[in-house]
């Protein structure tokens, strides 16, 4: 029994996939998420989760994540070393793109293991936009099963899990429903998110969150 518990603990703490942080990997695009407490580097899986990855990269290339926050730290009651952190545009509709089709884990094969990057969404399908989360420890209850659609995992952390764990340990309070008590008291600022591989492909059109920003900066 002790051996089984040890193996399960090792599985929960092990990374979901071993990808190099310092060089490109075919089929993946690395993104550096620079925060006020350090940098998290993720690799999005363009081959297995193309729509979700493309959506995330558009937010990155547009600068929609620049200046937003990690605002949620959901620690497991059974072991607060594990859980998830959530960040993105939160409720800032000015930064949002249209919702995207759901790519379930049953289709992509990308399971919610340790260090998995996945899309947050309201409690309905095809509704994810600009909020994402990172798991600390395996979280199989977020994988699709039967009629449960789960969440759309689309990448993994390849560097900076120490930063992820630091954010998970942040002081929390407030919130409602499933987020009750999980909102970070002093949200961790995302200074910039930038792609490390390939050519940026920003969307076209007006970017409402930038309107007036240059004028305020110039004062």
**DSSP character string of 125-158:** SS-B-SEEEEEES--GGGS-BTTB----EEEEEE
- Size (the chain), residues: 219
The reply to whether 13 falls in a domain is no
* CATH number of residue 113's parent domain: 2.40.100.10
pLDDT digits (tens, 9 = 90+) for 147-188: 999 999 999 999 999 999 999 999 999 988 889 999 999 999
Predicted local distance difference test score (pLDDT) of residue 6: 43
Assess contact for 112 and 45: CB atoms under 8 A: no
Q: Is residue 161 part of a domain?
A: yes
Decide if 109 is inside a domain.
yes
Whether 66 is in a domain gets the answer yes
Expressed as residue numbers, the domain containing 78 is 25-218
Evaluate if pTM is beyond 0.85. Answer: yes
1-5, 84-88, 157-161, 163-167: the lowest-pLDDT one: 1-5
Beta strands, E only, the chain: 28-35, 38-45, 69-75, 83-88, 116-119, 131-136, 153-159, 172-173, 183-195
Give the C-alpha separation, 90 to 160, whole Å: 22
Domain count for the chain, please give it.
Answer: 1
Residue 122 lies in a domain: yes
Domain contains 18:
no
């Amino acid at each position: 029994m002790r051996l089984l518990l040890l193996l399960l603990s090792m599985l929960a703490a092990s990374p979901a996939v071993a990808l190099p942080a310092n060089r490109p990997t075919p089929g993946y695009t690395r993104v550096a998420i620079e925060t006020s407490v350090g940098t998290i580097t993720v690799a999005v899986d363009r081959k297995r989760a193309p729509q979700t990855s493309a959506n995330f990269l558009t937010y990155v290339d547009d600068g929609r994540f620049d200046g937003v926050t990690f605002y949620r730290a959901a620690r497991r009651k059974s072991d607060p070393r594990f859980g998830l952190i959530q960040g993105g545009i939160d409720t800032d509709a000015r930064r949002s793109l249209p919702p995207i089709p759901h790519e379930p884990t049953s289709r992509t094969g990308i399971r919610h293991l340790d260090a998995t990057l996945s899309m947050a969404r309201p409690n309905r399908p095809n509704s994810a936009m600009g909020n994402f989360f990172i798991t600390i420890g395996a979280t199989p209850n977020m994988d699709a099963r039967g009629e449960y659609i789960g969440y759309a995992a689309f990448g993994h952390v390849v560097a900076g899990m120490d930063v992820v764990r630091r954010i998970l340990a942040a002081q929390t309070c407030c919130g409602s429903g499933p987020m009750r008590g999980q909102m970070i008291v002093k949200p961790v600022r995302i200074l910039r998110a930038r792609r490390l591989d390939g050519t940026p492909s920003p969307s076209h059109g007006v970017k409402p969150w930038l309107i007036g920003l240059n004028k305020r900066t110039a004062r």
